[in-house]
Amino acid sequence: MRPHGLATLASIFTLSLYFTQGVTQEVPPGLSLQYASTAPGVAVTNGTKLCILPVGDSITVGWLGDDHNGYRKQLQSDLSADKVVFAGTERYGSMDDPYFATWSGKTIKYMHDNIDESLAQKPIVILLHAGINDMSPDSSVSTEGRDPVAAAKRLGALINKMLQKCPDATILVAMIISTTRPAQAPQTAQFQALVPGVVQTREALGKHVIAVDFTKFPTKLLRDGIHPTDGGYRTMGDWWYDFMTQIPRSWISVPEGPGPYPTGKLASGRGVNGDFKFHSKWESAGQVMPATGLDPKYTRYEHGDRLNDDMNGDGLDDYVAVNPGNGSADIY
């Protein structure tokens, strides 16, 4: 049945109430946020450190991108008015803060089963883009099957865990970007359509969960039908930023409990991924290299064969060698 003209006008008027200069004042139940082209530099918080946890698969990792930063570097740039720190136990990319809870080629269930330590860092915003691998026609990838309804239930379970572990966080749940692969597109479209309902169930209980619509993300910005081009990743960062500016200001608060593990700057040198960050629960690997072959002037030992620097505070010695040419430090 064709909708009544007045009802349509009223809906448009209602939607206009929720956006003021790119900032959402309130979010009506069941409404998915739409990209609104917000200019960079709009503050999301009022002096609160913006701890963001990106969650997802290879798209969030930045797979096939030249700098391996995915959308995260552009998002960080757009959020120039906020103090941003990324949470997560995983890392990838050339940026100084390349952390996330993201696993290439993995499904929603895998994320659910492996995200606890990242949630313990108490992010205040979680960006969830998950489900593309659940829709894969390759059964070695879609390990729980590719039924969109079942995948939506798994998405709900993941959101529930996030809400349980981080009750103060705001979760933006993506209606994932579309694919141009014919064998995967129909299931992806069905899954996209189910996401708002999954979110609405939690939203109706007063939880800070919002669906964000990536279904209109231009598929011409995909390089292989799944992963964005370099320009596509930057555009995706712009979209996430835009959606974050639409979060109600009253939803952003300092979480209870510890935040990301503080480490500070440890050395002027850079690691493979552009930084070095200690993590809890280090595991013993035995002898990883002999105490020979390095210039002793730049290597720390106790008696010529043992290191006397405890870098991670666990009471055990760690092996440190400083490169005199560039000041970088190798820590084992």
Per residue in 123-137, pLDDT tens?
999 999 999 999 999
| Bridge partners for 56 per DSSP | 102, 129
Q: Which of 80, 34, 22, 2 is nearest to 213 (CA)?
A: 34
Q: Which two tokens stand for residue 94?
A: 């050339």
The residue extents of the domains of the chain are: 22-251, 283-332
DSSP one-letter code for 250? G
Closest CA to 158 of 197, 110, 206: 110
Going by DSSP bridges, is the β-strand pair 170-175/125-129 parallel, antiparallel, or unpaired?
parallel
Residue 220's φ and ψ, nearest 5 degrees, are -70, -15
Distance CA 196, CA 173 (A): 9
Q: State both tokens at 209.
A: 């969960």
pLDDT tens profile 176-187: 999 999 999 999
Write out pLDDT tens, residues 302-321.
444 334 455 555 555 555 66
Distances (CA, A) of 287 to 48, 232, 284, 290, 306: 43, 44, 9, 7, 11
Q: Looking at residue 314, what is its pLDDT?
A: 54
Residue 330 scores a pLDDT above 50: yes
Angle made by CA atoms 33, 38, 39, in degrees to the nearest 5:
160
Strands 90-91 and 99-102: antiparallel
Rounded to a whole number of angstroms, the distance between the first and last alpha carbons of the chain is: 68
pLDDT at residue 56 greater than cutoff 80: yes
3-class SS at 312?
coil
243 has pLDDT over 80: yes
Length in residues, the chain: 332
3-state secondary structure of 240: helix
Q: Is 144 exposed, middle or buried (0-12, 13-18, 19+ CB in 10 A)?
A: middle
Query: Mapping DSSP to helix (H, G, I), strand (E, B) and coil, where does residue 166 land?
Result: coil
So what CATH class is 22-251? Answer: alpha beta
pTM, two decimal places: 0.73
pLDDT at residue 48, as a whole number: 76
CA distance 102 to 100: 6
Alpha-carbon 127 to chain mean position: 5
* Contact of 30 with 209, CB cutoff 8 Å: no
Q: What is the pLDDT of residues 249-281, one digit of tens each?
A: 889 877 655 555 544 444 434 333 334 444 444
Distances (CA, A) of 175 to 48, 132, 273, 283, 286: 28, 10, 30, 38, 45
CB 223 within 8 A of CB 229: yes
Average pLDDT for 103-122: 97
